[in-house]
Structures are given as C-alpha cells and as structure tokens.
Chains A and B, each alone.
Chain A
C-alpha cells in the first residue's frame, strides 16, 4: 500500500472513530494494537485547545455542556492549522448557526469576546501614539496626518451586555453571575503593550474609530464625522483622539514592529 493511501485510511479512521482501519498488525484478531489511543487523543487534544481558546465560555457552560459543544465542533471542523493555537476559529460561526448549542443566546457574544481576547494576546506589536506625539504635530500638518489603529485592535458589535459576565467568570470560575441583558453596543479589545485591554463603547464611538482607521487623513476623518451627523466635528475629533491616545488605541505607524 502506498504511503498516501495508508495515511488517508488512518486519518479517515481517526476522524470517523473507526477502530479497525485494516492497517495494523493484529487486526486479524480484532485488535489494532493501541489505535484506540490515537482516536481518544485526537478528540481530547482538540477539545483542550478549544478550552484554552474559549476559557470563559467553558466556565459559563461547565465541563459537560462545553465538551458536547466541542465534540460537535470537532466532528464538523477538522483542523487545517499548522499550530493548534488557531483551532476554534469558526466556533463563533458554528454557534451563530445554531444558537441552541449554547443554551443562552448571549453566550455567542461571550464566545466572540473570548476569541478576540485570545487574538489580541499575540497579535502584531506596535508602539502606541502618545500625547506628546500629537502635541508635536504642527497645525498645518494636521489635515494631512494619517492615524493608524493598533494592529491588535478588534471592534466587536455585540447584541448582549456580556462584559460583566465575562469579567466575573474570568476573575473567578465559581463566581455568582447574572443573566446578561440585551443591549446593542460595541466592544473594543486591544493590546497597548504586553497586556490586553477591553472596554465597552457606544455604537457611535465605534463607528468613529472604524472611520479613523479607514480615513486617508485627519481632514477626511473630520468630514466623515460631519457626514455621520456630528454637529461640531473638529471638537468631537479632538475629544475622541485624546481619549484613544491615552488608552493606547492608536499606533505610531502602519507598520507593526
């Protein structure tokens, strides 16, 4: 048997849970050596990766419900990643397609928060823009100046106010928690230096932040704010910029270092 065929059969057997793929010494007697160890190890290793990548969702669901979810996901989404660190990239879509998989619809937003926190953790680095950088800009440089968002920044549009639940369970697996309320808003997740940060934001602020990232320069961004209905765009721009710079949301340059 050629190697490709042997590996195809081995892999199908692991994915399908077939203990006797007709490859191993001893199968004539119905014993494929320790092949069942590979079958178990595959599932438990991928489930462990999902627990690592969705630690708060795991706490919210508990071991049994999480492992049911993980088992269903593993069956549908075999890994195509070199590194197991990325396994679970479609779990939020998987939940979104059948929200009953997690019992409460707010847990989809909780899962999205977990994944985004994990992504920010090892996203590209960049030095943050500081207030003195802004002060150093001459008045005639402002209109043309291009601002950049931190490469780690993710802006999530959430339907549920899951942040208190996420924080409580992240701090303490046994925390007593309350049911999240429906509340359309945005969640910002980013990493100004080594540690990840997050905060909730109004939809308007999130739109302005996205617009800044997409605008060719400061003047265009102010025009975009005016178009969005901001009566005093320059004032609003100054206030937002100051806050974002203080929080480390903006990068010094477009190129990650």
Chain B
C-alpha cells in the first residue's frame, strides 16, 4: 500500500466506488470521511479496503469537536485510531470548530471564538488527540457566518498561534478562506499570507452557493473563478501542496471531477512557474 500523498486528489464518495474499482483513475490520492467507515462491516469498509490497495489515502473527520467545552470522546478517538491502523492514512485531519456541547451534536462545523482562552482550551486537547493517534493532527479552517463579540484576534492570527503552541499541522481550505472573507469582509490574501508554510499539509478546494450578502459553503457546485484565483495566489505563496476537490452534494459523474482536477493541475502549474520566475 503506497502512502505518499502528492499531486491532486478527490474525496472518495460512495457514488464513485464502482469507478475506482473498475479501472485506474487519473486521481493521485483519496480523502475519506472517517465517520463513514466507523461502522462494523458491510459495503463501506469492504470498498474502502479494496480501493485503498490502489490509492494513497488521508482520513478526514467531522466530529472530533476539538473546540467543544465537553471532554474529548475517548471512544471516538480509539475508533479513529483503529481505522487509521487499518488503512494507514498519510495523515488524519478534522476541523477547527466545535460541533455541540452537553453531549449533543448539532452536526455542523461551528466556529470558535478567536481568543486566548480558546487557545488555552485547545492546547491540551490537541496534545491528547495527537497522543492517541500517535501523529500530528491536521486541522482545517472552517467557513463561518458569524463573528463573536468574544473574538480578540483574527482567524489567521489565531491559527498561527495554535500551530506554534501545539505543533498541529494545517489543512488549508481555500474555499473556506474565500467564503469567510466575503462573509466577514476581510482580505483573503491576508489570511493566506499569515499561514506558516511549513505546517500546511494539504489544500481543499470546493464550490459554494452565493446568496448575495452571504456565501454558503455547500460543496455542491464547481469551483468558482475567485476561488481559483485565490488558489493560484496560495500556490505562489506556499509552493506545491497536495490539493483536492471536495464535492458532497449534487455529486457529478467522476470524469467531471477529474476534469475539474485538471483545472487545478494547470492553475497550480502556472502559479509554480510564476513562483519560480519571481524567485
């Protein structure tokens, strides 16, 4: 089983299991939603293991709830570890968010207040996760639609500080940066500029829905021009990074996503050329 994550990947969705099993696809690696495979048996695990034979994988979770005021769910962490032992992902990621408190789950990636108290709350928790997983946790920036009065710093300042305190790594979702920059009126390039380059492991690209005043991170559309531009900017700043497209709804035939991945390849290549010229 190869484990090197390089180039351009996709999120594995059950709609495409058949395509990935039928023939080798022009996809360098796959990201799988951990929760979809924290089950006892049946088709999900069967197809996962069979597709894993042919593609390097990373695991991406949605319910770690690293920022919740509840204690971390140690059963969940053990399950994650077991799944990781089984499929040997190159890394395990989840989101910089909370999903619920008092034992409830709102099943959403809710933003945290960006302040010192939250940093202090997160630091031992990230250490605990990294301990159980036996590796660095990769954390993704979420898109958001609110700003707390309790915020003391920008999201990017918060993320920088988090990386330096915990040694966590980053999954930079370029679409989320764009969505939040429009929703909150900041300059998306400031966010990218602040990212500690050596900590960024992976990039997410996705489509969203434009509702005028707010942009909603729906993952059900092709990637828009502004996000391609921001991706090019990101590659110019941070260099070559494993990049993938997330599509969670309105899932098209696989070849359409592979075509979109080709756009990512060419945008990245052009940006890398510019980066080289500038250097």
Contacts and interface: CB of A to CB of B under 8 A. Distances in A.
Interface of A: 1-4, 6-8, 10-11, 14-15, 23-27, 32-35, 37-38, 41-42, 45-46, 49, 78-85, 87, 120-125, 151-152, 191, 194, 256
Contacts of A84: 35, 105, 107
A152 B36 CA distance: 18
A32 B46 CA distance: 45
Interface in B131-154: 145-151
A122 B148 CA distance: 40
A79 B107 contact: yes
Interface in B1-52: 35-36, 38-46
A8 B104 CA distance: 10
B42 A3 contact: no
B121 interface: yes
B76 interface: yes
A83 B100 CA distance: 12
A25 B147 contact: yes
18 contacts: A2-B69, A4-B101, A7-B101, A11-B101, A14-B106, A15-B104, A24-B149, A25-B146, A34-B146, A34-B183, A34-B214, A42-B106, A79-B106, A80-B103, A85-B39, A121-B43, A125-B42, A256-B40
Contact of A25 (B73, B149, B214): B149
A120 B63 CA distance: 23
Interface of B: 35-36, 38-46, 63, 67-69, 73, 76, 98, 100-108, 110, 112-113, 117-118, 121, 145-151, 183, 213-214, 216
Contacts of A14: 106
A23 B149 CA distance: 6
B69 A35 contact: no
Given A24-B146, A83-B63, A122-B42, A11 B69 contact: no
Chain B interface mostly = loop
Leading 10 A-B pairs by shortest Cβ distance = A34-B145, A125-B41, A4-B69, A122-B39, A124-B40, A122-B42, A33-B146, A83-B35, A7-B101, A25-B147
B148 A6 contact: yes
Contacts of A27: 149
A45 B100 CA distance: 14
Contact of A82 (B73, B112, B145, B148): B73
A46 B70 CA distance: 21
Contact of B63 (A8, A45, A82): A82
B150 A85 contact: no
A201 B44 CA distance: 29
